[in-house]
A and B are shown apart, each in its own frame.
Chain A
Amino acid sequence: MLKIKDLKASVEGKEILKGISLEVNPGEVHAIMGPNGSGKSTLSSVLAGREEYSVDGGSVEFLGKDLLEFAPEDRAREGLFMAFQYPVEIPGVSTTNFLKTAVNQVREHRGLPQLDAVQFLQTMKEKMKIVDIDQSLLKRSLNEGFSGGEKKRNEIFQMAMLEPKLAILDETDSGLDIDALKIVAHGVNTLKSPDNATIVITHYQRLLDYIVPDFVHVLLNGKIVKSGTKELAYELEERGYDWIKAEHANA
């Protein structure tokens, strides 16, 4: 589904991703872990098409197509979704407001019929249950005055509405208490299917107790330096990143 080959990217002339290769297949959950500043958000931003990052080398194939050729909106329409680490506030635009446009533009791209106001509301109601989100929140200005948990639940709610093939969750767990974490994880697990895949970016192993990964990768200084199964996450939890840093420095 996703084939990243030797991806290099920089921002403001600073090299951040230094050759990343990763393959994700339908039905899989991959976790990407790594210390602050290692390039996790940069990777998800480059995949989602954020303009200030320049791709300096490598390739990304998504569902057989060259992902890097697409504008951000076309990536979303093709089935890529990113839950932002820091979702932006948009005064005057509510979730309901922009999702109606988003859902229908995505559906049009996928050759599905448009949802009318009633159908859209029905779909919203179904998906709201998955992340236990209240309709009043969806009518408010996006993320304005939302708590950390509300912001992240809203991200997963949007994911549910847009039905992506590949979801990238960028530190969706950070700043969440255990109850909020469980709700978010429950949402992600409910949406999981053999046809779609998830990349969970996280700092801590804790989330992986609830969203169980098939593979764990360690990102360090712009490179994936180690890959393994969920046991690797436990090891990182116990020993921190220093031993990998040391290993990598010697290598």
Chain B
Amino acid sequence: MANSVLERLLQKPEGNGFDAVREKATSLIKEKGLPGKKNEEYKYTNLSRLLEKNFTDFEGNKEANLELLKSKIPTLSTIQLVYVNGNLSEELSSYTLPKGIELEALAANADSVDENADEFALLNASNLKNGTSITFTKGFLVETPIVILHITDSSKNQAASHPRLAIKAEENAQATIVELFLGNGDATSFTNAVTEIQCKGHSLLTYIKVGNENDNQLHVGNTKVDVAGNAVFNAITANFGGQMVRNNLRIALHESYSEAHLFGLYMSDEKEHIDNHTVVDHQMPNCDSNELYKGIMNGSSTGVFNGKIYVQQDAQKTNAFQSNKNILLSDNAAINTKPQLEIWADDVKCSHGCTTGKLDKEQLFYLKSRGIDEQSAKTLLITAFANEILEQIKSKEVRAYVQNLLHNKIGG
């Protein structure tokens, strides 16, 4: 990609404590460049051409975003934090935090910039000017899900945002956190999010990422998770659109007896493209991981699923399971699915599998023969397919919200 494009994306926000972070990340990403076609990791998701646009800063249209809040997410009673184009919105956030949560500005730490990080994570760091750190404090059980909304507002001009969030579940904490990505506006926009998660010993954290962006939006999300001993990390990633979406979810089980459960649901239509790359890195013995991603592709949309499982030499007694299931609703839709298992330990149980098919004709005919129209019959079957993922969302409010997104997507 042209150097000038990268140059533009690297426009430095006005200086503050993040100067050192930005400088380091900037020199790293300049060296690497953004991934193009030849990059194996991004060969199906080539954003470089799409990023050849002028993205300028825009603080967002408050009225329009307030309207979006009210009309599009009626079932979520509380949204604690709202970011518009990467900046925390004082007006739109409710800040009603239950006990057991600490909210801070992200601390600047240049050492945290990892030269091996994903290119887009580096790009995020090179634009870093603020960020939020959320800590679920030791021993607390937080029952209410914490909802964080990111609005990428391109109603005035092409907007890019680079939100960054750090989430920490301290020892024995239990919580659910939802990151919701919505778009507002007709111009192209680019959301490049980084979320870093730490699960300390014996904690239980559920992280739900929901993307429902417009078909003029590009999205890259890098979620990096460290899971300590006896902790359980659940991830549910649901995407219902965007011009080009790429989720990188990277989980390290770095102490014994930790668990990760990864669920994904994606539905695309028209020319949308949704790419999920996951990595589960089993570093220590007696850890379990279980992964199920399900996709529904319509129109001439495409999906990508790439699931890597590493079982390191020390990680004996690992259980690692992975499955990817897809339904293609049209002849022009496609999915590229690829499991990658690298196993260096000998006493492990691993399996993976993937299926891709169409809606079952016999099932459709059965439902229609009972008087149900074609569209409703399809909806019933797609919903049944998706429910296996949706029922993983324990919060009724959040589940209802995601269910509603799915229904709207099915309805066209």
Residues of A whose CB lies within 8 Å of any CB of B are 48-51, 71-73, 75-77, 82, 84, 87-88, 90-93, 97-99, 101-103, 105-106, 109, 158, 162
Contacts and interface: CB of A to CB of B under 8 A. Distances in A.
19 contacts: A50-B365, A72-B368, A73-B370, A73-B371, A75-B369, A76-B369, A82-B369, A84-B366, A88-B360, A88-B363, A92-B383, A93-B380, A99-B370, A101-B376, A102-B372, A103-B371, A105-B371, A109-B371, A162-B370
Given A90-B384, A92-B387, A93-B384, A98 B365 contact: no
A12 to B, nearest CB: 14
Interface in B71-119: none
Contacts of A103: 371
Contacts of A71: 368, 374
Nearest to A110: B371
Interface residues of B, number: 23
A151 B39 CA distance: 53
B373 interface: yes
B384 A102 contact: no
Contact of A105 (B362, B366, B376): B376
A162 B371 contact: yes
B368 A92 contact: no
Contact of A91 (B366, B372, B374, B384): B384
Nearest to A82: B369
Interface string B374-404: 1011001101110110000000000000000
A98 B374 contact: no
B367 interface: yes
Given A88-B363, A90-B363, A49 B369 contact: yes
A105 B387 contact: no
Interface string B329-371: 0000000000000000000000000000000111101111111
* Chain B interface helix/strand/loop/mixed: helix
Given A90-B384, A105-B376, A51 B371 contact: no
A48 B368 CA distance: 10
Q: Which of A51, A87, A91, A103 has the most CB of B within 10 A?
A: A91
Interface string B1-27: 000000000000000000000000000
Given A49-B368, A75-B369, A162-B371, 20 more contacts: A71-B368, A72-B369, A73-B373, A76-B369, A77-B371, A82-B369, A84-B369, A88-B366, A90-B360, A90-B367, A92-B384, A92-B385, A93-B363, A93-B380, A93-B381, A97-B380, A101-B372, A101-B376, A105-B371, A158-B370
A72 B384 contact: no
B365 to A, nearest CB: 6
A88 B384 CA distance: 15
B69 to A, nearest CB: 31
B363 A105 contact: no
A98 B369 contact: no
B373 to A, nearest CB: 5
A102 B369 CA distance: 9
Contacts of A51: 361, 365
A98 B362 contact: no
A99 to B, nearest CB: 7
A103 B388 CA distance: 26
A106 B371 contact: yes
Contacts of B367: 90, 93, 98, 102
A84 B372 CA distance: 16
Contacts of B361: 51
Contacts of B372: 73, 98, 101-102, 105
A92 B294 CA distance: 14
A72 B387 CA distance: 27
Q: Which of B360, B366, B377, B380 has the most CB of A within 10 A?
A: B366
Nearest to B385: A92
B232 to A, nearest CB: 26
A73 B368 contact: yes
Q: Which of B363, B384, B387, B388 has the most CB of A within 10 A?
A: B384
Nearest to A107: B371
A77 B372 CA distance: 9
Contact of B371 (A50, A76, A93, A97): A76
Contacts of B366: 84, 87-88, 90
A98 B370 contact: yes
Please provide the 3 A-B residue pairs with the shortest distance between their CB atoms, ordered closest to farther.
A92-B384, A76-B371, A106-B371
Contacts of A102: 367, 370-372
A123 to B, nearest CB: 15
A109 B370 CA distance: 13
